[in-house]
Amino acid sequence: MSAQDSSVRATDADLPAEALAELATAIGAEHVVTGDAMNPDVFTDESLHGPGQAPGAVVRPGNTTDVAEIVRIAAAHAIPVTARGSGTGLSGGCVPLPGGIVVSFERMREIVDLDLVGHTVVVEPGITLAELNAALAPHGLVYPVFPGTDAGSIGGTVATNAGGMRAVRYGVTRSHVLGVEAVTGTGEVLQLGGPVVKRSTGYELSQLVVGSEGTLALVTRATLRLSPRLPHVATMLAPFGEIDAIAAVIPRIITSGARPTILEYIDRGTMKGLLRQNDLTLGVAPEVAEKAGAYLVVMVEGRSAEEVGTELELVAEALSEGGAVETYVLLDGQGLRLLEARESAFWMVKAAGADDLIDMVVPRAQIPEYLRRVKTIAAEYGSRVYGCGHAGDGNIHFSVYEKDTERRHALLTAIYQTGQELGGVISGEHGIGTSKKRYYLDLVDPALLSVQQGIKKVFDPAGILNPGKVFDAEE
């Protein structure tokens, strides 16, 4: 959609009667929901910004053909379309436009095919991580992307290229998507990639769709790579005097031969909040806690207790040589509760009144410098910025407490600029959506933005797919 194209109904309260009639005929009237019958949950996601807004209709397709029909009808009437899974995103990526259509994938949650030889699965986008892994467990398999909530849908995680704490071992969503079936902005159905692990045949467009936040195509099926489920787990906790020491010990752990599943950094303030919020005790002596400026949480997995024991020995040696104040092997219940508390940190900071979230990623070697600069920037603005993050891959999460809108914008701009100067990018796993769009447009290379706009026009020439996300149509 160009700046001159004003036909997209981004401000109309209702859909045209003709479009509603066509949708009812194509999908079934019972699956086209309008007015007060719409569930307000579909108006927004978990972003801290804005109360959300009502679309013109929520449409619930049952299959790929339905999705293609919805998009064709929307394109014919110039109606914006926003895909929605579980709504667990944190960047406003699935917030609809007034007068637009929300395509809710709640009816499309089937496992289409499970290949126990090739360790792949084909699923519809509405299935949640919890549902998929429950079905895989009896087969000793797991889909190892855990982005902080297992209520997230596969479609949503594909759209944002979700990561999570386990990415240091397993990688992010893109590492596991072998192919997608997707509907473009013209209603055309594309089969991209497939259930093979090697491919050197033309452009790999499936990976272009992953992380595109619903702006290029609507994913209707995803072919995913699976991993063996490792039944034995142990968690270590290591307090450090300074975060620099944590950043320095990560390479030691990796080169030791250990294969940690989680390497998670938690600063002192955030750890205190997590323990208090979750009524959790870890057995850290008071004198040790007093010395701790930050903590490293390490989780290892294995096929046997002996294998896990070997991993723990390697990690413990690296931690000791790296200057840990102390090392603790947590009891099974403690480790699980600590990781659950870390995964629920968003709810803690939201309840505490956080005004913004940052999920920037920088090269692992630059973590200390990045954290030092962020601390200085926060002090300059008189703002509170607390953090934890995936130390193994440089993905640092900050909660920002600054009520003044202009001051907060300047603060975040400075933090994002600093990260980019160190080789990082604005979002490591939550996506741009609307929450980070302003910063992205200000800081991204204009040449890169131009290429992305050109790709958008190829997939979605009328500009109806999730307009206003990632970059403005007018841009």
Distance from C-alpha of 143 to C-alpha of 145, rounded to nearest angstrom: 6
Residue with tokens 């594309």: 190
In the chain, the amino acid numbered 35 is: G
Q: What is the pTM of this model?
A: 0.92
- In tens, the pLDDT along 253-271 reads 999 999 999 999 999 999 9
Q: Is the pLDDT of residue 320 over 70?
A: yes
**Cβ neighbourhood burial of 310 (10 Å; 0-12, 13-18, 19+):** middle
What is the length of the chain? 475
Query: Average pLDDT in the 453-461 region?
Result: 96
Task: List, in order, residues 6 or more apart from 84 with CB less than 8 Å away.
Answer: 42, 94, 96, 102, 103, 104, 105, 156
Question: What is the predicted pLDDT for the residue at 12?
Answer: 42
301, 250 in Cβ contact below 8 A?
no
Give residue 123's pLDDT band: very low, low, confident or very high (50, 70, 90).
very high
361, 394 in Cβ contact below 8 A?
yes
What is the CATH topology of the domain spanning 111-228? 3.30.465
Query: Average pLDDT in the 11-38 region?
Result: 90
Mean pLDDT for the chain overall: 93
Distance from C-alpha of 247 to C-alpha of 97, rounded to nearest angstrom: 42
322, 245 in Cβ contact below 8 A?
yes
33, 61 in Cβ contact below 8 A?
no
Can you tell me whether residue 40 is helix, strand or coil?
A: helix
Percent of the chain surpassing pLDDT 90: 88
Question: What is the predicted pLDDT for the residue at 167?
Answer: 94
Q: Beta-strand (E) ranges in 60-115?
A: 81-84, 101-104, 111-115
Residue with tokens 């992010």: 172
Q: How many secondary structure helices (H) and strands (E) does the chain include?
A: 16, 18
In CATH, the number for domain 17-107 is: 3.30.43.10
Distance from C-alpha of 431 to C-alpha of 175, rounded to nearest angstrom: 16
Can you tell me whether residue 256 is helix, strand or coil?
A: coil
Give residue 473's pLDDT band: very low, low, confident or very high (50, 70, 90).
low
Task: List, in order, residues 6 or more apart from 247 with CB less than 8 Å away.
Answer: 364, 365, 367, 368, 391
Question: What is the predicted pLDDT for the residue at 1?
Answer: 35
Q: What residues pair up with 170 in beta bridges, in sequence order?
A: none
Please give the class, per CATH, of domain 232-338: alpha beta
Distance from C-alpha of 271 to C-alpha of 250, rounded to nearest angstrom: 19
Question: What is the predicted pLDDT for the residue at 198?
Answer: 87
Distance from C-alpha of 124 to C-alpha of 134, rounded to nearest angstrom: 15
List the domain boundaries for the chain.
17-107, 111-228, 232-338, 353-429+442-449
Give residue 11's pLDDT band: very low, low, confident or very high (50, 70, 90).
very low
DSSP 8-state symbol, 398? E
Question: What is the predicted pLDDT for the residue at 475?
Answer: 39
Question: What is the predicted pLDDT for the residue at 13?
Answer: 54
Domain 232-338 and domain 353-429+442-449 have a common topology? yes
DSSP 8-state symbol, 37? G
Direct distance between the N- and C-terminal alpha carbons of the chain, in angstroms, rounded to an integer: 10
Bigger pLDDT: 124 vs 148: 124
Question: What is the predicted pLDDT for the residue at 244?
Answer: 85
Question: What is the predicted pLDDT for the residue at 194?
Answer: 93
Question: What is the predicted pLDDT for the residue at 387?
Answer: 86
Question: What is the predicted pLDDT for the residue at 275?
Answer: 93
Considering the domain 353-429+442-449, what is its CATH architecture?
Answer: 2-Layer Sandwich (3.30)
Question: What is the predicted pLDDT for the residue at 440?
Answer: 96
328, 238 in Cβ contact below 8 A?
yes
Query: Average pLDDT in the 202-220 region?
Result: 96
Q: Is the pLDDT of residue 6 over 60?
A: no
- In tens, the pLDDT along 28-75 reads 999 999 999 999 999 999 999 867 889 999 999 999 999 999 999 999
Give, in order, the Cα–Cα distances in Å from 123 to each of 8, 153, 209, 215. Answer: 32, 11, 16, 21
- In tens, the pLDDT along 283-311 reads 999 999 999 999 999 999 999 999 999 99
| CA within 13 Å, CB half, 213 | 26
Q: Is the pLDDT of residue 319 over 50?
A: yes
241, 325 in Cβ contact below 8 A?
yes
CB atoms within 10 A of CB 326: 17
